Amino acid sequence: MTRRAVAIDVIRIPTNGPGDVSGLMALIDEGKIAPASILAVLGKTEGNGGVNDFTREYAVAALREALAPHLKVAPRAVEERIAFVMSGGTEGVLSPHLTIFARRPSAGVATNGGGAKRLSVGIAHSRDFLPEEIGRRPQIEETVKAVRQAMADAAIDDPNDVHFVQVKCPLLTSERVEAAQRRGQKTVTTSGYASMGYSRGASALGVALALGEVDADIDDSQVLKDWNAYSSVASCSAGIELMHNVVIVMGNSALATSGLVIGHAVMRDALDLSAVLEALKHVGLGLADARMNQRLVNIFAKAEAAPDGAVRGFRHTMLDDSDVGSTRHARAAVGGLIGGLAGTGAVYVSGGAEHQGPPGGGPVAVIARV
């Protein structure tokens, strides 16, 4: 079987605010990005990352409005063609930015099982969820379907070639909880903030199930309970701006001819420098390369406050701080660690790693130029 090869371009663009699309528009005007080639946009915005973080919705709205004329569709229809994932929270040295993933046909032809594997990216959307489905088996099952669809879109057949799966998932609001109650249904929680963890957790278990990392009989009772069940590549971010899951699969494929490659490792805790170095090594980078050369494209990671209240035997206070949420502490800590290695704060670090790596840890992935 012969299929046309594709090439992936990945461009990181700094932003001056959640509605700033000037950097992307400049690249389009200069002919450096073809709007029709844009497959996904993964961004960090400077909100609080909580239920009321509307910087994510603002950023998506700005991108829709800016891209719609170029794509000759209505703004709302832009989301049918491009996967938008905005993660709120740029605490510490983290810097707001967008990572643009563009896909174009390659001049070459690749065959199954052929040549060196290069970066490939695929996207998919689940159906909309009812409020009572969030954090439960239906969300897990629909995520499984979406991940497999995105793998097919990326021409990735082997789960071992998947190195990062970014999911944007919904959360519960008081209105959504009340809507379920009026229909005689009970949601997994009535807390909007707590629902973010349930949604991220169920989505991550869906990724794990799709990739064969957990047994098929996983059920509701394991969400936020069975911490031995997790995905080593899932990164899930909950937001108020949608009611379905958006999935971006990143991996390496023999059917991709881009000059980029992706690799990953699993951080065991927020201090796991060795895991970040291992991820860099997987794409042929050493510490000096990451800081000094132009080969590093971006680093993506999940951050989590250790649920037992300690990191390597020493007590931390992230879970007890009444002023600053634990996910914000975790983003700042891991962002500083990774930013120090990368030499920039414009790295993607998302908080809340329920079932995304082992408790207190999370996946870290690196995209680099070959």
Helix/strand/coil (H/E/C) assignment for every residue in 192-210: HHHHHHHHHHHHHHHHHHH
Cα separations in angstroms, 1 against 110, 111, 112, 152: 10, 7, 7, 15
Q: Which residues are catalytic?
A: 168, 237
Q: For 87-99, write each residue's pLDDT tens digit.
A: 999 999 999 999 9
Matching fold, domains 2-109 and 259-369: yes
Task: List Cβ neighbours of 229 (8 Å cut-off, separation of 6 or more).
Answer: 205, 208, 214, 218, 222, 355
Res 254 pLDDT > 90: yes
Q: Which residues contact 359 (CB under 8 A, 6 or more apart)?
A: 227, 304, 306, 307, 308
Measure the CA–CA gap between 300 and 166, rounded to whole angstroms: 9
Q: What is the DSSP letter of 356?
A: B
Per-residue pLDDT at 323:
85
pLDDT in tens, 120-161: 999 999 999 999 999 999 999 999 999 999 999 999 999 999
DSSP annotation of 128: P
Chain segment 165-187, per-residue pLDDT in tens: 999 999 999 999 999 999 999 99
Q: Which of 133, 138, 136, 158 is nearest to 148 (CA)?
A: 158
The pLDDT score that the predictor gives to residue 293 is: 72
What integer pLDDT is reported at residue 3 of this predicted model?
Answer: 65
Kindly calculate the radius of gyration of the chain based on its CA atoms and give it in whole angstroms: 19
Give the bridge partners for 42, in sequence order.
85, 99
pLDDT band at 115 (very low <50, low <70, confident <90, very high): low
> Looking at residue 4, what DSSP letter applies?
E
Quote the pTM value.
Answer: 0.95
Q: Is 9 left (phi over 0), alpha (psi -120 to 50) or beta?
A: beta
Residue-wise over 334-365: b if at least 16 C-beta within 10 A, else e?
Answer: bbbbbbebbebbbbbbbbbbbbbbbbbbbbbb
Span 211-221, average pLDDT = 92
Task: Name the phi and psi angles at 115, rounded to 5.
Answer: -10, -165
Task: Give CATH for domain 259-369.
Answer: 3.30.1330.160
Q: Is 175 exposed, middle or buried (0-12, 13-18, 19+ CB in 10 A)?
A: exposed
The domain defined by 119-249 folds into 60s Ribosomal Protein L30; Chain: A; (3.30.1330)
pLDDT score of 112 = 43
The identity of residue 312, as a single letter, is R
Query: Cβ(267)–Cβ(301) under 8 Å?
Result: yes
Judged on CB neighbours under 10 Å (0-12, 13-18, 19+), 179 is middle
Count Cβ neighbours within 10 Å for each residue of 106-144 and write b for 16 or more, e otherwise.
Answer: beeebeeeeeebbbbbbbbbbeebbbbbbbbbbbbbbbb
The confidence score (pLDDT) of residue 291 equals 63
Residue 96: name the closest of 61, 45, 42 by CA: 45
Mean pLDDT of 310-317: 89
Residue ranges in 118-184 assigned as alpha helix (H)? 137-153, 174-182
**Are 353 and 362 in contact, with CB atoms under 8 Å apart?**
yes
Every domain of the chain and the residues it spans: 2-109, 119-249, 259-369
| 295 DSSP 8-state letter | -
4: which 2 tokens? 């046309």
Out of 3.40.190.290, 3.30.830.10, 3.30.1330.170, 3.40.1280.10, select the CATH number for domain 2-109.
3.30.1330.170
Higher pLDDT, 362 or 292: 362
pLDDT beyond 50 at 1: no
What number is the average pLDDT over the span 221-245?
95
Contact between 332 and 44 (Cβ < 8 Å) = no
Which candidate, 159, 347, 151, places its Cα nearest to that of 256?
Answer: 151
3-state SS of the chain: helix, strand, coil percent to 5? 35, 30, 35
Contacts of 182 (CB under 8 A, 6+ apart): none
Q: 299 vs 163, 213, 331, 338, 339, CA distance in Å?
A: 12, 23, 14, 8, 9
pLDDT for 114: 53
- Closest alpha carbon to 236 in 327, 308, 325, 173: 327
Segment among 2-6, 54-58, 316-320, 329-333 with least mean pLDDT: 2-6
